[in-house]
Structure 1
């Protein structure tokens, strides 16, 4: 397996400090970005129900509202664990809960999850790191595929290895630099803050992040 080559735009990043206020604002923007679509669909469905001239669309609107409400709830549960406080500073999170929210948000007709982690409690930031790694793994298979989630070691020192297999698997440009703590010259935005935050969590856990690409399989390792 060959290590992924440095991203082509690595030269357009700089290592600078990001204030806690800016980081918090960007993460809030990311959460809003994730839930705005299903919430907007719920609003559209309600508007159809309120339109007396669209009585024939009632069942379609109710189905849209139900599906969008479930999607919004799943995304909020995921982002609460991945980005939020999710308990006190010394809290521990259940890997079983992590698996549940991952499946609700990422698993669909195109993408399957193979989860090999035991159900146990780990330090909060280690589980938050895992959830952020799953998001990164999802970006490596733009056409869908299989994401395999496994552990390295055990107990509180557990690390993670995620392998994503799918057509045209890739390591997105700039993702390694962002995870390494580099900020684009134009600054972070709601999209780039997620890999940047994943890198912060990895460093807090003392787990170096490594990216590799071998054919149609991308591997993310935090161990």
Structure 2
């Protein structure tokens, strides 16, 4: 079911999602600055600086990913260099020891909408790996179009039912939660391209997400 929610409502949901995801690393930056200002011990100051550096890196990586997945990064052209998408995804998940990331995209460039769809699906699948695991991201041109495939496997894979429903059906009528913003965007991008998002049945150790975008074969 397609939701009648306005673009302004979606912008509010998306802003709430971004603020939620950035709260932790930005808060850590603030705490680190406060600790550094009050600390005189050289070893403790060194630890504070390491905390600041780690938090700054995490914040920058999140912003780079969000800019490409949700914003207008990649310029105003119709396609985006896939190396940018890979770097953004590796920045977001690569530093996490709990996740092993596999990139299986042979194309040098892909349509901007396809890149955004791929990254949003990868974000959802990566977040579903609540105890870590492996996240494989793939795309290839076939006779039917451009096929996108995400595979998440780990000790526990948990995809919220609201996210699952939003990916396949769009938003239901009524209030929506900020955490479904990416799923809503993915559903909209797929629909605009004439595609539907396919999900594997609920499984505690494996999640597969796919979509074939026609006209890109």
State the TM-score bracket (shorter-chain normalisation).
Answer: 0.7 to 0.9
RMSD, aligned α-carbons: 2.3
Unaligned 5+ runs, structure 2 = 213-217
The count of corresponding residues between Structure 1 and Structure 2 is 210
2:28 paired with 1:37 = no
CA drift of 1:180 comes to: 2.9
- Aligned pair in 2 of structure 1 residues 84, 139: CA closer, same or farther (>3 Å)? same
2:145 paired with 1:166 = no
Unaligned 5+ runs, structure 1 = 1-13
CA distance in 2, matches of 1:109, 1:67: 14
Match of 1:219 among 186, 208, 211: 208
- Kindly provide the CA deviation profile for residues 96-133 of structure 1, in whole angstroms up to 9, marking residues without a partner as x: 11111111111321111111102511111110000001
2:54 paired with 1:71 = no
- 1:57 corresponding residue in structure 2: 44
SS at match of 2:177: coil
CA distance in 2, matches of 1:71, 1:189: 24
CA distance in 1, matches of 2:119, 2:18: 14
Most deviating of 205-214 and 157-166: 205-214
- 1:48 corresponding residue in structure 2: 35
8 Å Cα contact 1:180-1:196 kept in structure 2: no
- Aligned pair in 2 of structure 1 residues 81, 73: CA closer, same or farther (>3 Å)? same
Larger relative contact order, structure 1 or 2 (CA cutoff 8 Å, min sep 6):
1
TM-score by length of 1: 0.85
Most deviating of 105-114 and 162-171: 162-171
